Structure 1
Amino acid sequence: MHPSTLSSVNETDDNSDYENDQTSSGTLSGSPLDNTMDRIGMGNYQRALLGLCGLGWAADNMWLQAVAVALPRVQVQYSVPTSSIGYLSASTFLGMMLGALLWGTLSDLLGRIRVFQSTLFFAAVFGFLAFNADTFLSLCFANFLLGTAVGGSMPTDGTFALEILPPKKRHLLTSLSIFFSIGSVVAAFVALMVIPGNSCPPTSTTSSPCDVQTENKGWKYMILILTFITAAMFLARILFFRLHESPRFLVHTGREVEAAIALTDIAKFNGSRLQITVADVKDDEEDDSREAACGPLRIQTQHEEEREGLLEHSSTPPMYRPVSPSKSVGVLRQLLEAPLNGWYCRMQGLLTGEWKQRTLLVWGIWMSMALAFTMFNVFLPTFLEYRSGENSASESSGEPSSLSGPLWEVVIFTLGGCPGALVGAYLIDAAPRYHMSKSLVLALVTFVTAAFSLAFVMVSGYYVVMITTIGISLTSTAMWSILYGYGHLK
């Protein structure tokens, strides 16, 4: 993403009414664009957009939790050996990795709104494809495609929200992490409703035959329900209210007039009547120099520019002239070459100068935390089910274990993470008051998460295991929200 999206934040809370437009931009710090967004303030538009962005975060973890819960059922469905069942989750995460890069790049080239609306649409389409998969290989491929869609939601939605929030309110970005936890809760509850009565027990817990074609459809029902939920999220994004393109994106693609119009409309939606001009949306000199070095990320061909010029001087639209295939290749090259070069130039900016150390540090921390967090979340449902089967086998009844117990434990685990986002947001906001850096807060919360993880490995009692899993869920979610705030807020 553009380094300008990682602007510094004034931690002092702005308690002024967003309708107060009497503040002179000259009395504020920061670029004219930041000052204008602070003048508009935190209104209904920003709150609604923050909620819509949260849907993408919820979908991300919702599908991850669904994959973890479905693994034992998929293994029974397709008779997959234990050494190979991990390919399902691996294909999902591979898709997420590529999707984050793909959709993040497209959002820099095509704009935030198009990607914002597309990720959940394709997640619903690929979710339906996973529901209809009839082999393990086709399911892995469908989950790979699903991963590319949901993997693009968090980075693109977070950037969109960050560029709409007033600079003095950007710490609210960390509150999006609560949607991440809610997504896993939704998936866990859906699994609890449809899986226990529609699943074959693991072969290790029973010797009675089970028809996987008719008695093991619970995991498919779960995928179908989550597909409908994702589709509803997509519809909310296009029907809820009219979205405006990110003003910062417009400014850095050479479209200052459109940025001024978008900010005027946003202020009007919030109930304020601000007169915003092009001078009010100028960004800082550092970004202007980078703009001159890299060029704007505007996708517009010479033919389109000429057409716009004709339209400005004539009320009669120009006649349509078909383009030959050879010209089409040239137009396509012209369409993509300059924006891609500009994007590459900006990415280089993240790895040079003052940004290099910060970027590499955040990437390294993010990768390490993602490895540990993902391994535990994928492992936990299978572990709880296996332990339940062992306990059932040790009893004299001889009945196969119920899946309701382990799934209830997964629900409790996911619910335990919901307060973590609020804890992380509070720690990010409170750290300066206690003379603590965000790096130190992140290190302390990470240490507490590691302590709970070590306790989980060492204890064996039912209630102690549950306490440690809730502790891991709470602190790891707080850890993620702090990391996101650390990476995007100074």
Structure 2
Amino acid sequence: MQVVQSEQKTPRVDDDMDTKDESAQEQTMTTGDMISIGGVDPALAAKMHIVNDAINQIGFTTYHTKLFFLNGFGYAVDSLLAFLMSITAGQVALEFQPSYARGGTIALYVGLLVGALFWGIGADIMGRKWAFNLSLLIAAVFSIAAGASPNFITWTSFVAITGFGAGGNLVLDTTVFLEYLPAKSQWLVTLMAVWWGIGQTVAGLLAWAFIPNFSCTSADDCPRSENMGWRYLYFTSGALVLCMSIARVTVIRFHETPKFLVCRGDDEKVVKGLQDLAQKYGRPCDLTVEQLQRHGAVATAHSQNLFSFNEIMVHYNGLFATRKLGISTSLVWLSWTLIGLAYPLFYIFLPEYLSSRGAQFGETSAYITWRNYVLAQFSAIFGPLVAGYLCKIPRVGRKYTMVIGAILTMVFFFAYTSVRNDDQNIAFSCIVSFAINIYYGTLYAYSPEVLPSGHRATGNGTAVALNRIMGIMSAIVATYADTSTPVPVYICAALFAVMAAVSAIFPYEPQNGQSI
């Protein structure tokens, strides 16, 4: 494949980089472009390399720190709202007595599915800015509305719209953060998954406070006045998300990412944005408009008509522009599909499983059930911390961090079925929560890293959408299967064995180069 050098003569990482020279690899791994598209669109390849050089020259700033926290809110919101539905579903069913109790789960995942595709494709067409801000606001408003639902149909409708906002928000968080990061700091996208565990923990703590104290226990006598716990949970969580949404607008003035602007052909805005960032934080930036424009116009990022089916196909075709990129995209999508079935089978129905196991061990208290749930979710925070450390180790990187996380999860899933008392039950649920988030947190970061900027949100959104389809399938499986038995645990363990194998054969390792 063609390799395009910029005026700054920064070393590049080719697809077949010589691994024998360790010192040479270490020198280039933070400055080379990971994906080679020079033979497909030389202008885009050259411009992306020049912009990467400018981002690396500016380095990590306070602006990036703000993005880490504000984008992390999206992770927290997605996990909080997903678990909110699973936590409240039982009490909602007692109050409204629907004919299909799993309707909330399916509504949520349909919303997440549509949101991932809508906001993902839309962000590649219209830009990241509006999708980034609006998606979180939608999730906040309709989660509050869900708490005031007068009936089951209204509740599931609001849950679906909440999922629509949260699903798109999650796609954009990693995309926006990554497209501003210098190469040496790309590992922070993996670390950002700690917010996922924080969101889970907040959901568990709020449930622990509200559900045992403000809930009815029988469908025969469950009026609204006696079952306000789940409503308080939605009101509180929605208000928290609304504060996060306001913070995104007030704490930082988010501008369109430079890499999206390159794909759109706005060279002047690319230079102005990076020059303004450098000036604000006292950093050097030698980028000029002439450097970009001398390489000509970008030909492959958009069609002539933005609002057309052809424009959508341009973005999907771009994900398979080369054989290596096509294999990578397919394996990433496969991984999201597999984890989309394994994760909900264990996590979304974890309250049922923990409750049934607690009953076996003589623990029937709702207080103890939700205490155990909070401890398991809190343990999830430490998975991405370990993943962030592992992905920086030479010869481990993102790929083998995922392998390690998947294998650990598989082992402890199988071990979970041998639990014989309550202490073992909570210990193993915490360990599984920790291990699964080593894998999942890294996959969240790896996916946008190995997708080209012009089509990144489309590829990432499709990956998440495939994940949500399997989430819907998991709800259907749970309808006809007993989730209080170890069978779902065995299925999850087998799926993680497959995920470990897939991770090992990913063709790209982001540790060895910078995303374009």
With normalisation by structure 2, the TM-score equals 0.74
Q: Secondary structure of 1:127's match? A: helix
Measured after TM superposition, the shift of residue 54 of structure 1 is 0.5
Whole-angstrom distance in 1 between the partners of 2:26 and 2:191: 15
Which residue is equivalent to 1:370? Answer: 340
* Local SS of the residue matching 1:292: coil
Matches within 5 A, 1:34-53: 34-53=52-71
Instruction: Give me the identity figure in percent.
Output: 25
Counterparts of residues 102-141 of structure 1 (less than 5 Å) = 102-141=118-157
The answer on 1:269 being equivalent to 2:232 is: no
User: 1:151 aligns to what?
Assistant: 167
Q: Which residue of 2 aligns with 1:292?
A: 299
How far apart are residue 452 of structure 1 and its match? 1.2
Measured in 2, the distance between the counterparts of 1:260 and 1:484 equals 29
Q: How far is 1:443 from its partner?
A: 2.3
Instruction: Report the equivalent of 1:258.
Output: 269
Confirm or deny: 8 A CA contact 2:390 2:397 kept in the other structure: no
Give the match for residue 410 of structure 1. 373
Closer, same or farther in 2 for the Cα pair 1:198/1:40, shift >3 Å?
same
Match of 2:85 among 67, 71, 81: 67
Q: 2:442 aligns with which of 482, 487, 490?
A: 482
- Post-superposition offset of 1:281: 5.2
Equivalent residues in 2 for 1:317-336, closer than 5 Å: 336=307
- Residue 372 of structure 1 deviates from its aligned partner by 0.6
Identify which of 312, 331, 353 aligns with 1:361: 331
Alpha-carbon distance, 1:194 to partner:
1.6
Aligned partner letter, 2:54: T
After superposing the two structures, state which structure 1 stretch, 250-259 or 194-203, moved more.
Answer: 194-203
User: CA shift at 1:343, angstroms?
Assistant: 4.0
Q: How does 1:199-218 map to 2 (within 5 A)?
A: 199-202=215-218, 210-218=221-229
Quick check: 2:64–2:181 contact (8 Å CA) kept in 1? yes
Structure 2 portions without partners, runs of 5+: 1-11, 15-24, 32-45, 451-509, 511-516
1:80 and 1:386 mapped to 2: Cα distance? 23
2:141 maps to 1:162: no
Distance 1:444 1:119, change over 3 A: same
* 1:402 Cα deviation from its structure 2 partner: 3.5
CA distance in 1, matches of 2:185, 2:312: 27
Q: For 1:91 and 1:48, locate their aligned partners in 2 and report how far apart those are by CA, in whole Å.
A: 33
Q: How far, CA to CA, are the matches of 2:293 and 2:438 in structure 1?
A: 35
Tell me the residue number matched to 1:341: 310
What's the secondary structure of 2:198's corresponding residue? helix
Q: 1:8 to 1:376 in 2, by over 3 A?
A: farther
Residue 383 (structure 2) aligns with: 420
Q: Which whole-Å CA distance do the structure 2 matches of 1:70 and 1:359 have between them?
A: 36
- Following superposition, the deviation at residue 411 of structure 1 comes to 0.5
Deviation at 1:42, TM superposition (A): 0.4
Which AA in structure 1 matches 2:319?
L
Q: 2:203 aligns with which of 175, 187, 195?
A: 187
Q: Which residue of 2 aligns with 1:303?
A: none
Deviations 1:110-160 (A, max 9, x none): 211111100111001211221122222221121111111101112111101
Aligned to 1:301: none
**Do the aligned residues in 2 keep the contact of 1:413 with 1:470 (CA within 8 Å)?**
yes
**TM-fit CA distance, 1:15:** 11
1:284-318 Cα shifts (integer Å, max 9, x gaps):
x8xx78x3245468xxxxxxxxxxxxxxxxxxxxx
For 1:351, the equivalent position in structure 2 comes to 320
Contact in 2 for aligned 1:296/1:342 (Cα 8 Å): yes
Structure 1 residues 51-81: Cα deviation after superposition (integer angstroms, max 9, x where no partner): 1111111100011111121122112111246
- Deviation, 1:355, is 1.4
| Residues 424-477 of structure 1 deviation map (CA, whole Å, 9 limit, x = unaligned) | 1111111xx2x3464344223212101111222232311111111111100111
User: Which residue of structure 1 aligns with residue 470 of structure 2?
Assistant: none
**Corresponding position of 1:396:** none
How many residues are treated as equivalent by the alignment?
414
Structure 1 residue 77 corresponds to structure 2 residue 46: no
CA distance in 2, matches of 1:347, 1:239: 35
Deviation at residue 217 of structure 1 after TM alignment: 1.0
Task: Please tell me the root mean square deviation across aligned C-alpha atoms, in Å.
Answer: 2.8
Q: How far apart, CA to CA, are the structure 1 residues paired with 2:187 and 2:301?
A: 29
- Aligned partner of 1:462: which letter? D
Contact in 1 for aligned 2:30/2:184 (Cα 8 Å): no
Displacement of 1:282 in angstroms is 6.7
Residue 187 of structure 1: CA displacement? 0.8
| Letter in structure 2 aligned against 1:97 | L
Asked if the contact 1:68–1:377 (Cα under 8 Å) also holds between the matched residues in 2, the reply is no
How much does 1:232 deviate? 0.3
Cα pair 1:116 1:153 within 8 Å, conserved:
yes
Q: 1:75 to 1:383 in 2, by over 3 A?
A: farther
8 Å CA contact retained: 1:99, 1:147: yes
3-state DSSP of counterpart to 2:347? helix
CA–CA distance in structure 2, aligned partners of residues 144 and 111 of structure 1: 24
CA contact (8 A) 1:11 1:429 kept: no
Which letter maps to 1:260?
V
Contact 2:194 2:382 in 1 (8 A): yes
- Within 5 A, what are the aligned runs for 1:465-480? 465-480=425-440
- Structure 1 residues 268 and 125 mapped into 2: Cα distance closer, same or farther (>3 Å)? same
Tell me if the contact between 1:69 and 1:382 (Cα under 8 Å) persists in the aligned partners. no
Q: Which residue of 392, 399, 405 maps to 1:429?
A: 392
Aligned ranges for residues 293-308 of structure 1 at < 5 Å?
293=300, 295=302
Q: Which residue of 1 aligns with 2:36?
A: none
The answer for unaligned runs of 5 or more in structure 1 is: 1-6, 17-27, 204-208, 298-333, 394-400
Q: 1:242 to 1:280 in 2, by over 3 A?
A: farther
What SS is found at the alignment partner of 1:378? coil
The residue matched to 1:197 in structure 2 has which SS?
A: coil
